[in-house]
Amino acid sequence: MLITVRKPIDEIMGFLAGERAVFLLGCEGCAAASGTGGEPEILELKGELEARGIEVAGWKVVDFLCQKALIRTSLRPFAEPVARADSIVVSTCGIGIQASATVIDKAVHPACNTISLGGIRGEWQGEERCVECGQCFLEFTGGICPLTACAKGLVNGPCGGAKDGRCEVEPEVRRCAWNVIYERLERQDRLDLLRSSPVQIKDYARMRPPSELRGTREWAVDMAVTGEETR
Amino acid sequence: MKLTDLFREGKFVITSEVAPPKGGDTAEMIENAELLKPRVDAINLTDQQSSVMRLGSLAASQMLKARDIEPIFQMTCRDRNRIALQSDLLSAWALGIENALCLTGDHVSLGDFPDARAVFDLDSVSLLAAAKGLNEGVDMAGNELAGATGFCLGAVVTPGADPVELQLIKMEKKIAAGAEFFQTQAVFDAEAFARFMERAKPLGVPVMAGIILLKSPGMARFMNNNVAGVHVPESLIDEMKNSEDRPATSVEIAARLIREVKGICQGVHVMPLGWEKRVPAVLDAAGL
């Protein structure tokens, strides 16, 4: 289970500068449970965007967005609206956003931040990884997470260490994440995004579970079972 | 003395570097720095080069400053978080150090403590932005400082990187964040460097070409196979292979490269890697 919170609509609108139409993607899994990516939330987002002059060419709630094969088959009936949209707005966790960006060769914008649970439960298949940083960077990196894909977790571009496109850490199994980001954005003719994005600073305070979460029933059940506050 | 002052005067700036020792004995480092002193404008002090634990670049910078040798204080983001990095910049300024070179740094896995925590709280771009903030009298959190710093801020760039476009984008970001000059990764192909400079020149920030003294054909091949963004052409490897006096050929190659790039960049940064004694001969032969 990954817990997400919706980004403020103004932040999302900032991502959509110069765009006219979008396609919305939600997720029936953790995001629906989090109240960010189920059908009601997607319809709410649709309303918010339309009220601000953005056309919603179509929308789909997929179960689950972490499964790339499922995204592909679920979107088959939506080829036309997806093609018509300038970009895809994805309201789910960092994995689902990355998986969508891998499958759909278009600009993909994150509508959520994935917040820290202080450790990851559950499992997923595929190479997308999310560290629940609470400040999703995927908007600025073509939908490829720089925190998990780059060995140094660099958020402002590559270091000088890549050789022939391979990372200086374990080159046999790692490509340079920033080369991959570059290739995707170049293919989408979106390299200006790298130039124009502001200096990114990681906020480690958001990488800890928020206090509201520690007060939830799930955490309380654990306490009741063990009889002590262990975390 | 800030490097920016020299660039402003239109001087072709020459820097070199010395590595702090692995241990407390600084005699050799000082000897190398004194040897370079009459010929260079400033000397870089590397920060745990290749992630190998050594004496720190701050102490080494101060030791050079005390001997009237202008230090360029290198800082990487591998070992310190933003609190320590900002604090060390303040310390450096208080010690009279005026030039700082901001880098991301190699990963810990490359050095002698692969089990250490790799920090990378900041990176080269955000460190430059932080340092620029200190110059303007505020820290990263926006707190006002009792006394601003006045660093001349440098950064590095790899002209031979692939794709070069990505490198240029990062160069632009570094300039926007505060970089006032660049030292480059080693240049061995003057024509390729000229092509890079055509793209870099419009950015309007001085670039110093990196020059490494080739010691042997084996060293050249090692760099080609292992060092990012460095390519020694086969012709130079052959020249070293066929040489009867390798040190003389090495000096000749380095001097020739400097002569070839002199007209298209604003300075050179000579990395002697143990051959400090030969640097004066290189500069003589290059006419500097």
pLDDT band for position B43 (cuts 50, 70, 90): very high
User: Which residues from chain A sit within 8 angstroms of residue B121, using beta carbons?
Assistant: 202, 204
Q: Assess whether pLDDT exceeds 50 at residue A201.
A: yes
Q: Indicate yes or no: CB of A169 within 8 angstroms of CB of B158.
A: no
In whole angstroms, what is the distance from residue A203 CA to residue A180 CA?
Answer: 24
Domain contains A184:
no
Which residue from A156, A163, A165 is facing B173, i.e. has the nearest CB?
A156
Which residue from A151, A191, A194 is facing B107, i.e. has the nearest CB?
A151
Q: Assess whether pLDDT exceeds 60 at residue B170.
A: yes
Q: What's the one-letter identity of residue A158?
A: P
Q: Assess whether pLDDT exceeds 50 at residue B168.
A: yes
Phi and psi at A207, nearest 5°, equal -90, 5
For A165, nearest residue in chain B (alpha carbons): B162
CA B248 vs CA A170, A171, A214, A229: distances in Å: 38, 36, 69, 72
Domain contains A191:
no
Pairing verdict, β A55-62 and A21-27: parallel
State residue A219's pLDDT score: 64
Phi and psi at B258, nearest 5°, equal -60, -45
State residue A114's pLDDT score: 93
Which residue from A157, A169, A195 is facing B125, i.e. has the nearest CB?
A157
Q: Which residues contact B191 (CB under 8 A, 6 or more apart)?
A: none
User: Is CATH 3.20.20.220 correct for B3-286?
Assistant: yes
Q: Indicate yes or no: CB of B107 within 8 angstroms of CB of A163.
A: no
Q: Indicate yes or no: CB of B125 within 8 angstroms of CB of A160.
A: no
Mean pLDDT of chain A: 91
ipTM: 0.92
Structural domain containing residue A216: 3-152+198-226
Higher pLDDT, A216 or A186: A186
CA A143 vs CA A13, A136, A173, B207: distances in Å: 17, 10, 20, 33
State residue A231's pLDDT score: 46
Q: Assess whether pLDDT exceeds 70 at residue A84.
A: yes
In whole angstroms, what is the distance from residue A151 CA to residue A180 CA?
Answer: 13
Q: Indicate yes or no: CB of B165 within 8 angstroms of CB of A191.
A: yes
Q: Assess whether pLDDT exceeds 80 at residue A105.
A: yes
Q: Assess whether pLDDT exceeds 90 at residue A128.
A: no
Longest dimension (CA), chain B: 62
CATH of the domain at A115: 3.40.50.11860
Q: Which of B78, B79, B103, B169 to mutate to test the interface with A (most CBs of A within 10 A)?
A: B169
Higher pLDDT, A200 or A128: A200
**Beta-ladder partners of B14:** B268
The predicted-structure confidence for B49-74, as pLDDT tens digits, reads as follows: 999 999 999 999 999 999 999 999 99
Q: Which residues contact B107 (CB under 8 A, 6 or more apart)?
A: A151, A152, A161, A168, A169, B51, B78, B118
Q: Can you tell me the mean pLDDT for B203-232?
A: 95
Q: How many domains does chain A have?
A: 1
How close, in Å, is residue B244 to chain A by CA atoms?
32
Domain contains A7:
yes
Could you identify the residue written with the tokens 């179960």?
Answer: A63
pLDDT band for position B76 (cuts 50, 70, 90): very high
User: DSSP letter string over B164-231?
Assistant: HHHHHHHHHHHHHHT--EEEEEE---HHHHHHHHHHHGGG---EEEEEE----HHHHHHHHHHSTT--
Pairing verdict, β A87-90 and B13-18: unpaired
For A152, nearest residue in chain B (alpha carbons): B120
In whole angstroms, what is the distance from residue B158 CA to residue A44 CA?
Answer: 47
Domain segments of chain B as ranges? 3-286
Query: How many helices (H) and strands (E) are present in chain A, helices listed first?
Result: 11, 6
In whole angstroms, what is the distance from residue B74 CA to residue B80 CA?
Answer: 13
Pairing verdict, β B42-45 and B71-75: parallel
User: Which residues from chain B sit within 8 angstroms of residue A174, using beta carbons?
Assistant: none
Give the predicted TM-score (pTM) of the model: 0.91
In whole angstroms, what is the distance from residue B66 CA to residue B64 CA?
Answer: 5
pLDDT band for position A1 (cuts 50, 70, 90): confident
Q: Indicate yes or no: CB of B126 within 8 angstroms of CB of A168.
A: no
In whole angstroms, what is the distance from residue B288 CA to residue B259 CA?
Answer: 9
Domain contains A120:
yes
User: Which residues from chain A sit within 8 angstroms of residue B110, using beta carbons?
Assistant: 168-169
Q: Assess whether pLDDT exceeds 80 at residue A221.
A: no
State residue A226's pLDDT score: 61
Q: Which of B51, B80, B104, B172 to mutate to test the interface with A (most CBs of A within 10 A)?
A: B104
The predicted-structure confidence for B261-271, as pLDDT tens digits, reads as follows: 999 999 999 99
State residue A213's pLDDT score: 77
Which residue from A153, A157, A168 is facing B169, i.e. has the nearest CB?
A157
Q: Report the range of poorest mean pLDDT among B74-83, B90-99, B158-167.
A: B158-167
The predicted-structure confidence for B123-142, as pLDDT tens digits, reads as follows: 999 999 999 999 999 999 99
For B78, nearest residue in chain A (alpha carbons): A152
Phi and psi at A32, nearest 5°, equal -65, -40
Which residue from A162, A178, A194 is facing B228, i.e. has the nearest CB?
A162
Q: Report the range of poorest mean pLDDT among A126-135, B81-90, B94-103.
A: A126-135
Q: Can you tell me the mean pLDDT for A190-218?
A: 87
